[in-house]
A and B are shown apart, each in its own frame.
Chain A
Amino acid sequence: MLNRIFLISAFTLICYHALSQFAAGELPRDLRVTWHTDPAHEATISWTTDEPDDNAAVEFRERGAGEWTSIAAVSGKFTPGSPAAWFHHVALKGLAPSTEYEVRKSAEEDSRWFRTAPGDDVPFAILSGGDSRSGTKERQEMNRMMSRLVKEQAAAGRPPVIALAHGGDFIANGTRLDEWLQWLNDHRLTTTSDGQLLPVIPTRGNHDMGPLFNQVWDFPKNDENYFVTTLSPAVRLITLNTETSTAGDQRDWLARELADIRPASRWLVAQYHKPAFPAVKIPSGAYTNWVPLFEQFNLDLSIESDGHVIKRTPPIRDTKIDPTGIVYIGEGGLGVGQRTPQTTRWYLRPTADKCGVGHHLHFITFGTERLNVKVIKLGGEVFDDFDLKPRK
């Protein structure tokens, strides 16, 4: 009798273990790239393993030429969460701008490559979008579309797509490692057929709570996740965090940064998760605490997420529609179910036909004469297309 109980228990445990492994899916072993502040000269290469690896390292070189250089990774166990998994980050520094770099984990594995941000004032593009926390199928399709867009842009000789600025809410529950691993697995689909990796500039959303966000994106343990990314000498992207104090230190920092970088930036863009001018829901602390600074320093474009709609406001200044104001776009369509925007709100009425429903991303091209924004829906339809001129 005891034997039978033991056998049944053992069988149940084995089945549970097998099922949990199946549910967890394959670990995201593929290399990925994260950008923080200086992507013309720095990049973090990351990957994941299901057991510790004391010898984790990445080899890199300029694409197709030269000797491989090996750099040891900084590794750690994702905590908390299951299944057990270890992150490995290699911070590449001293890179050359506008240069393609090949990276690989070992000589036995295929290499991938990425392009550093430009060091000169040349046109380039980024993809932008948020809210990939649900709708796995749609998320995967959006990722495939990103891969296609990167490839087509290069094939057509247009300004290259250099990164994905993600507006937050990567996953539904930021404390769930299995959700992060699934997201990272899906992110592999953004890699082009010839192995080009799409670097991510991450924003923390309200669903990305907990310590795993900093572990996934190679931020210091208690980092508050607000920073300026110099995309080129003339273009800066400010990533803000609506999930920490918006009125305190972050606001003081933003005021200092804007005063510092505005004079040297032709294009100054901000991304953050919870909107100041929402198409659904209510305004976040961004409205009270950041918008006055955006207006004081003439931000060019503000990218918001969280609402799960397609949105474009007219230029807004001092809570009025004003040609000298700031355009707010968003609000997150990288997989999550879409809602209907409330276009009766005063700041959406004039652009009601530029607001809509559907999975989408923003394709933003930074030129010398204009900044172009296209809203591309899943399937390729261009839903919106507009230009901004540099401020005098």
Chain B
Amino acid sequence: MTHIATVANRLPFQQTMNLSTRPPAIALHWLRFAVAVQCFGNAWSLAWGLAWDVTNPLLPLLWEPSDVGGWALGERTALVVCRWVASLLVLCGFVVLIRPGAIVLTIVATIQLLFAVAMWQMGEGYPSELASIAPGFAPALPLATQAVRIAAPLVLWLVDSGKHARLAELLSRWAVALTFAGHGIEALVHYHEFCDMLIVAARKSGWDLSQTIADHTLTFIGVVDVALATLIVSTRRLSVAGYMAFWGLVTAASRIVVKGWYYGWDGTATRLVHFAIPLLLFLWWQTSQRVESSRESIASTGELNHA
């Protein structure tokens, strides 16, 4: 693993920076909190939401017949499995809050990966607008849009262990890039759910937003998202990570704003890592830059004294 990280750091696009071994404690606390909340949000969508109904993509995968890609377990068995997974996630959430470990965080990441695979297999979680443009590519989009949610528990494990800082940073950057690029593509094709979120949020603020303006706004958001996705893997600009953290928080919170607490909180909870991972990068890079600056300052002072 260290070898991969070393190789990755030699890639030509990696801006030189002496990354400190661990991100600052506040970034780790945020990430730990976000991963725990992600577990609770997913558990709600699997078992406890809406009078015991399941809004999670895992249910269709388990329940749907095999002729449409499901595992044909039957409704009763599928619901039982969903509730067991939900219980496991709640347990994992508390463990993450108390003392995150490799096993628990790998379980969380694996379950999140399973959700993305479920979306991919069952043809959910991507814009129908994209199906008109790129029908072959569209179903795989959830693997990109869910990347941060899959990576967040692994990043927490890697940085918490203190041994794989480079790999954790690399994983964070690529996961954020994939998620922003995926959402950027969705915005560029004017995903109707994003469009409606803008219009409904504006309406709730007493502002009448037309679909035309909403679509133009989405085009702008899409261009910015894709540009940020490119920048986050090619540079280590604080402004890029900072803006991504801000935007991750805004888009996560928008679920509650638009759908209300009852229908929207789990959407916000599962997306809190969209804020926490870029925040981790921001604070990590900021600390590293400060350390580097002070080292340079000490070194130049030393040279002056020597002279």
Contacts and interface: CB of A to CB of B under 8 A. Distances in A.
A222 to B, nearest CB: 8
A206 interface: yes
B25 interface: no
A246 B192 contact: yes
Contact of B132 (A173, A210, A252, A340): A210
Given A249-B211, A282-B50, A337-B65, A209 B132 contact: yes
Contacts of B199: 245, 247-248
A289 interface: yes
B287 to A, nearest CB: 41
Interface in A147-198: 172-175
A46 to B, nearest CB: 20
Contact of A210 (B67, B135, B195, B196): B135
B298 interface: no
21 contacts: A134-B65, A134-B68, A172-B69, A172-B123, A209-B123, A209-B138, A244-B128, A245-B211, A245-B214, A246-B192, A247-B196, A247-B200, A248-B211, A248-B214, A282-B53, A282-B263, A283-B263, A285-B196, A337-B63, A339-B75, A342-B50
Interface string A239-272: 0000111111100100000000000000000000
A282 B55 contact: yes
A202 B26 CA distance: 54
Interface in B263-302: 263
Contacts of A342: 50-53
A321 interface: no
Q: Which 5 interchain pairs have the tightest Cβ spacing? A: A248-B211, A175-B135, A209-B131, A209-B128, A172-B68
A76 B263 CA distance: 44
A80 B131 CA distance: 11
B65 A246 contact: no
Interface residues of A, number: 35
Interface in B45-65: 49-53, 55, 63-65
B196 A289 contact: yes
A248 B124 CA distance: 23
B261 to A, nearest CB: 13
Best-surrounded residue of B69, B124, B195, B214 (most CB of chain A within 10 A): B195
Interface of A: 80, 133-136, 172-175, 206-207, 209-211, 243-249, 252, 280-283, 285, 288-289, 337, 339-340, 342, 344-345
A136 B69 CA distance: 14
A265 to B, nearest CB: 27
B210 interface: yes
B203 interface: yes
Contacts of A206: 124, 128
Contacts of B128: 174, 206, 209-210, 243-244
Nearest to B198: A247
Interface residues of B, number: 31
A134 B132 contact: no
Given A245-B211, A248-B214, A210 B263 contact: no
Nearest to A337: B65
A337 B53 CA distance: 17
Contacts of A283: 263
A288 B192 CA distance: 14
A142 to B, nearest CB: 16
Nearest to A345: B51
Contacts of A172: 67-69, 123
B67 A136 contact: yes
A247 B210 contact: no
A126 to B, nearest CB: 26
Nearest to B49: A282
Contact of A175 (B55, B131, B193, B195): B131
Given A245-B199, A247-B196, 14 more contacts: A135-B67, A136-B67, A209-B123, A244-B192, A245-B211, A247-B200, A247-B211, A282-B49, A288-B200, A289-B200, A337-B63, A337-B64, A339-B63, A345-B50
Contacts of B64: 134, 337
Contact of B196 (A175, A209, A246, A337): A246
Interface string B60-90: 0001110111000001000000000000000
Contact of B123 (A207, A243, A280): A207
Given A134-B64, A339-B75, A247 B195 contact: yes
A135 B51 contact: no
Nearest to B196: A247
Contacts of A282: 49-50, 53, 55, 263
Nearest to B65: A134
Nearest to A221: B132
A288 B264 CA distance: 13
Contacts of A209: 123, 128, 131-132, 135, 138
A210 B69 CA distance: 19
A245 B239 CA distance: 33
Interface in B183-240: 192-193, 195-196, 199-200, 203, 210-211, 214
Contacts of B193: 285
A334 B122 CA distance: 19
B135 A245 contact: no
A164 to B, nearest CB: 22
B131 A174 contact: yes
A80 B135 contact: yes
B303 to A, nearest CB: 63
Contacts of B138: 175, 209
B198 to A, nearest CB: 9
Contacts of A175: 131, 135, 138
A280 B263 CA distance: 13
Contacts of B69: 172
